[in-house]
Amino acid sequence: MRIKRLVLALAIVAGSKAATAQVNQSLDIHIAQSPNIVRVGAADQLAYELHLTNFSSAPLRLDELAIRLGDEGAPLKTYNADALAGTFALVGPADAEARTIPAGRRAVLYINAPFADGQRRGPISHSLTLASDGGGFTVWGGAATPETAPLPRLSPPLRGGPWVAVYEPGMERGHRRVFYATEGSAMLPGRFAIDFMKVDASGKLSAGDADIPADHYGFGAEVLAVADGTIVAVRDDVADPSAIKGRTNPGIADASGNYVMLDIGGGRIATYEHLKQGAPVAVGDRVKAGEVIGFLGFTGQASAPHLHFHLADRPSILGAEGQPYVFRSLTRLGQYPAIDSFSRREAWPPADRPEIVRDSFPPPNLVVRFPGD
């Protein structure tokens, strides 16, 4: 009897190890777009997406992610518990336990990790600690080399201020996390998108009737070329709504409203969306940085008048990959602590003193003033 029990116990252990080995070989770790190191505010960030696909027949729970310099170097950043949950999103319905990838499903980890000044730049890799019914295990993968080319240095897309750089990397349906597969490949055009909205010192968007777009501070503001370039696409046939409430929300084909696309060279397309009718440019026009190429409006899918701005790798609204950039100069006036504070139209906390920031991407919900009035 003891021999039979020992054999049975060994069989259970062997079965457990076999199950662990099976799931260990069933996680696909993939980086579709090369990581970028971007100066955000006063510090560098490593920005990219890590795709994890579970090819096993059992769910996998991610317990820890370590981003490493080289194959097995010291971690640049380690995510676990709440930090992992904040960067983790399932493709499709969010119907699983936190940090769990069901069988046959994919998760995307949206990485915005600090990258220390003076840190050696080079290839990165990942170690992932996971758990399944068969136990815990660690896998290595996702080797990639961050881009090393200098980022485009852009002139302001608007004048004056205060403008709020509205975006939130962790927002479930924010630009940073919405893929589109309109042309047969999943793309993330809004990876580095910003919605610029003009406010007053108390956080209000309008001095008059908030339901009338023309009463909003930013409505009709001149939109500027961020660099020398060529106009490669213009849409200007969407009528300006007379009111914010009660209008039919446009479908995906019209979500951008009126837009202008500016080829600034180097495979980069500056994209301006939700513009007012009356574009002063046409396809083929050559423009200089600072020239007026449009007017801030309220067309397409928008909750209020604003300028949506991003860089893309091709002239397509949804079928392009969003690309990083920095602004040559802006003045930091303050910053909302979270996007919810802005959404509630709270007053923005001012900085101790206005600060000129150069060659930087604005942190989330920064309140800025651009040169000019």
Location of each CATH 2.60.40 domain in the chain? 25-144
Give the pLDDT confidence of 55-103 residue by residue, as tens digits.
999 999 999 999 998 876 678 999 998 899 999 999 999 899 889 999 9
Cα separation, 77 vs 116, whole angstroms? 10
* Calpha distance 132→59 (Å, rounded): 6
The mean of the pLDDT values for the chain is 91
Half-sphere exposure of 215 (CA within 13 A, CB side): 11
Distance CA 179, CA 109 (A): 13
CATH superfamily of domain region 153-370: Glucose Permease (Domain IIA) (2.70.70.10)
Q: Which are the contacts of 275, defined by CB distance < 8 A and separation ≥ 6? A: 223, 236, 257, 258, 259, 260, 294, 295, 296, 297, 299, 307
CATH class for the region spanning 25-144: mainly beta
Tens digits of residue pLDDT in 317-373: 999 999 999 999 999 999 999 999 999 999 999 999 999 999 999 999 999 999 987
Burial of 295 (0-12, 13-18, 19+ CB in 10 A): buried
Backbone angles phi, psi at 33, to 5 degrees: -120, 135
Check whether 134 has a pLDDT greater than 70. Answer: yes
pLDDT tens-digit series, residues 235-280:
999 999 999 998 888 888 899 999 999 999 999 999 999 999 999 9
Tell me what pLDDT residue 135 has: 87
Structure tokens at 274: 């939700």
Domain with CATH 2.70.70.10 in the chain: 153-370
Residue 46 has pLDDT above 70, yes or no: yes
Amino acid identity of 189?
Answer: P
Q: What is the pLDDT of residue 311?
A: 98
Q: Which pairing describes strands 88-90 and 27-30: parallel, antiparallel, or unpaired? A: unpaired
Q: Considering the chain, what percentage of its residues have pLDDT values greater than 70?
A: 93
Position 24 scores a pLDDT of: 63
Q: Highest mean pLDDT: which of 7-16, 239-248, 302-311?
A: 302-311
Please state, in angstroms and rounded to a whole number, the distance separating the CA atoms of residues 113 and 45.
Answer: 5
Could you read off the pLDDT of 150-181 as tens digits, one per residue?
A: 999 999 999 999 999 999 999 988 999 999 99
Q: What is the pLDDT of residue 70?
A: 82
pLDDT at residue 72, rounded to an integer: 66
Q: What percent of the chain has pLDDT over 90?
A: 82
